[in-house]
Structure 1
Amino acid sequence: MTKIFDVIRKPLLTEKGQILREKNIQVFEVATWATKHQIKEAVELLLQSKVKGIRTVRIPSRTKRLGRFVGTSSPRKKAYVELVEGAPASE
């Protein structure tokens, strides 16, 4: 069994995320290998509330440049988790 923090890396605290929190949607950066079922189980254990729906977005790696050195950023995956109305959410 995988651990919660292997699946959920960190919450994403952005302006868009704050607007979505008012609509009861939490945004997390998750592991690229995580499925929606694994994300749902991890969020329900972490936040102690029911999940209504999950949308995931894959962000591919990008080429980064610093002077003459070229590298790539790591690929990421975000999960938009909609919680059930009236369920307690973490602040």
Structure 2
Amino acid sequence: MTKIFEVIRKPLLTEKGQLLREANIQVFEVAVWASKHQIKEAAELLLQAKVKSIRTVKMPSKSKRLGRWMGTTGSKKKAYIELVEATEAAQ
């Protein structure tokens, strides 16, 4: 099994993410190669909660310019992890 922090890189702290936290959905940047099954296992170990569903989004790389030099940012993958409510988990 892969390590938790190889799969889940970091939480994404944005305004949209804060609104989703109220609906019990966490947003994380994950490894591009990670599958939903690997993300679910890592999230359950990290958050100590049952995962209800996972949605993933691949973010393509973008062109960036710094003076006369052109470059690109890396491509990313985000995971929207919906957790089971505490009342649902007790049943």
> What's the TM-score once normalised by structure 2's chain length?
0.94
Q: Which has the higher helix share?
A: 2
- Hey, what does 2:77 align to over in structure 1? 77
Provide the rounded CA distance (Å) in 2 between the counterparts of 1:62 and 1:21. 28
* Paired AA for residue 11 in structure 2: P
1:86 is displaced (CA, Å) by 1.0
Q: Give the aligned length.
A: 87
Offset at residue 12 of structure 1 (A): 0.4
Q: What are the within-5 Å matches in structure 2 for residues 3-82 of structure 1? A: 3-82=3-82
Identity among equivalent pairs (%): 76
SS of residue matched to 2:13: coil
Segments of 4+ in structure 1 off by > 2 A?
Answer: none
Give the Cα separation in 1 of the matches to 2:15 and 2:71.
28
| Unmatched runs of 5 consecutive residues or more in structure 1 | none
Shift of 1:51: 0.3
In structure 2, distance between residues paired with 1:63 and 1:28: 23
List gaps (5 residues or longer) in structure 2. none
Amino acid at match of 1:67: G
TM-score w.r.t. structure 1 length? 0.94
1:26 Cα shift? 0.1
